[in-house]
Amino acid sequence: MWVVDTYAMAVAGCLVTMLCWGSWANTQKLASTSWRFELFYWDYVWGILLFSLLLAFTAGSNGTEGRSFTDDLAQATRPNLLSAFWGGIVFNVANIVLVAAIAIAGMSVAFPVGIGIALVLGVIVNYLDRPEGQPGLLFGGVALVSMAIWLNARAYRSLAGRTGGVSARGLLLSVVAGVAMGFFYKYVAAAMATDFAHPEAGKLTPYTALVLFALGIAASNMLINTYLIYKPVTGAPSSYAAYFRGSGRDHLMGIFGGMIWTLGMALSILASDKAGPAISYGLGQGATIVAAIWGIYIWKEFREAPPSTGRLLKVMLLLYAVGLGLLIAARL
């Protein structure tokens, strides 16, 4: 199977992860305005599952290092399979709340607040499980990200005050999503071998872990998203009949979004072999910067905000960038 060989390659993979995780939500924006996020999310999940299987039978089954996907799956122990599966369930709960927050508050709010909180918690949780990197630089970066979260919340409040039509519900959902998302990565990391090129018996290679993770998402989505279709957090209830009436473009946008996110997840867990789970997860969550740039400069989500808000947003992005730089330096 294909693995990451150096720290430089791991950092490069994490930067691609950052782009993928910060950009997939644009596919929700590009779907038709009448396409509910609950319906979009079904196709997003199918995209995750299909792309994880594609990676498992290609990059995960060819090459001289590690084990092929089928061999790895056959030898894996039940606790490790369940750990990766449970990681998918935890992620799905967090992510569907995040998608709801995007629908209400926009990318430039939901991502910096939700994913920022997830970054802080995720780095701490994963570092405690596998302490790698210089803690001063690592947690210094986390502190700067925390300050950026606070600035983004202030910017959001100024927008709410100007428009008069924005509810605090979007901000609250972003916080809930961030807290839940801070924990999913640890379960996937715990299921995987510590040396991907020479994996120990019973543990999973990244590609097998990714498939089990995707299955956990798909299984939990049967219950969670069914409930949300009929009892949505915002707007009128929908139905499965509405899903099958969707256009081909709407369905493809969701599938494409899921595939983009999965590519980022695959590179993140592959990078964790050389970078460590805390740094790999933290760098990938630089997606916040990418998503905020999309929301601020492309989708113009803060166009109704007062001029001072623009300065807050620029400082927020600077703090995120410097914080992520410290995370990279923590392992050098």
Write the DSSP assignment of 263-319 as a string of letters: HHHHHHHHHHHHH-HHHHHHHHTTHHHHHHHIIIIIS-TTTTS-HHHHHHHHHHHHH
How distant, in Å, are the alpha carbons of 3, 59, 71 from that of 63? 9, 8, 13
Helix (H, G, I), strand (E, B) or coil at 250: helix
Higher-confidence residue of 168 and 66: namely 66
Q: Taking 60 as the threshold, does the pLDDT of residue 164 lie above it?
A: no
Contacts of residue 317, defined as CB under 8 A and 6 or more positions apart, other chains included, come to 148, 289, 292, 293
CA–CA separation, 110 vs 157, rounded Å? 13
Structural contact between residues 157 and 217, judged by C-beta atoms closer than 8 angstroms: no
Residue 100's pLDDT band (cuts 50, 70, 90):
confident
Q: Please give the pLDDT value at position 161.
A: 57
**Segment 231-254 mean pLDDT:** 91
CB atoms within 10 A of CB 154: 15
| Cα gap 133→38, rounded to integer Å | 39
Low-confidence winner among 35-39, 262-266, 282-286 (lowest mean pLDDT): 282-286
Q: Which residue has the tokens 């409930």?
A: 227
Residue 201 region, left (φ>0) first, then alpha (ψ -120 to 50), else beta?
beta
294 or 48: which leads in pLDDT: 48
pTM to 2 decimal places: 0.87
Q: What's the rounded mean pLDDT across residues 116-130?
A: 88
Report pLDDT digits (tens) over 15-27. Answer: 999 999 989 889 9
Strand spans (E) along the chain? none
Q: Which amino acid is at 103?
A: A
| Per-residue pLDDT, 266 | 97
| Residue carrying the six token digits 């644009």 | 26
Instruction: Give CA–CA dist 216/145, Å, rounded.
Output: 29
Who contacts 270 (Cβ-Cβ below 8 Å, separation ≥6)?
Answer: 2, 3, 4, 10, 13, 196, 206
